[in-house]
């Protein structure tokens, strides 16, 4: 990377003849102008490529850590699963009944209030 009349320039190779943007003739460096946006875009692309290249390694590490963590889990036995399942089902029905009663009470109250205000 060098500074030139177009701003910063990137030396991309050697020319063996005349070059479109800038060249020093035979076997001179070929330089193309690029502004900061292009440089940042190039850096972003490089970072993106590094991220993509690192994906398989990160995925492999994640799966290995997941396996280790799953070995550490204390799994419940069948009796514990059955008893907690019964508690959950009972609780769901209890809340459903509670909300049905509350809904009916509020519905009746609002209906009576509406009739009282409209007649």
Question: 66-98 as b/e, with b when 16 or more CB fall inside 10 Å?
Answer: eeeeeeeeeeeeeeeeeeeeeeeeeeeeeeeee
Mean pLDDT of 20-37: 50
**What does the pLDDT read at residue 25?**
47
Q: Integer distance in angstroms from the first to the last C-alpha of the chain?
A: 86
Q: Which residues are within 8 A (CB) of 15 and not within 5 positions of it... i.e. 6 or more apart?
A: 23, 24, 25, 26, 27, 28, 29, 30
**What does the pLDDT read at residue 63?**
96
Is 3 in a helix, a strand, or coil?
A: strand
Give the tens place of pLDDT for each residue, 64-89. Answer: 999 999 999 999 999 999 999 999 99
Share of the chain above pLDDT 90, in %: 52
Q: How confident is the model at residue 100 (pLDDT cuts 50, 70, 90)?
A: very high
Report residue 57: phi and psi, to 5°.
-65, -45
**What does the pLDDT read at residue 96?**
98
Q: Which residues are within 8 A (CB) of 88 and not within 5 positions of it... i.e. 6 or more apart?
A: none
pLDDT exceeds cutoff 80 at 18: no
More confident call, 45 vs 28: 45
The 3-class SS string of 47-96 reads HHHHHHHHHHHHHHHHHHHHHHHHHHCCCCCHHHHHHHHHHHHHHHHHHH
The domain spans of the chain are 2-72, 76-119
pLDDT averaged over every residue in the chain: 78
């Amino acid at each position: 990377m060098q500074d030139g009349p177009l701003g910063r320039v990137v030396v991309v190779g050697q020319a063996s003849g005349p070059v479109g943007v800038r060249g020093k003739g035979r076997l001179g460096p070929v330089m193309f102008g690029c502004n900061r946006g292009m440089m940042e875009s190039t850096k972003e692309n490089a970072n993106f490529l590094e991220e993509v290249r690192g994906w398989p390694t990160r995925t492999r590490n994640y799966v290995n850590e997941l396996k280790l963590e799953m070995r550490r889990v204390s799994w419940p036995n069948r009796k514990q699963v059955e008893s907690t399942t019964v508690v959950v089902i009972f609780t769901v029905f209890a809340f459903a009944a509670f909300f049905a009663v509350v809904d009916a009470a509020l519905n009746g109250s609002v209906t009576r209030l509406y009739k009282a205000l409209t007649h």
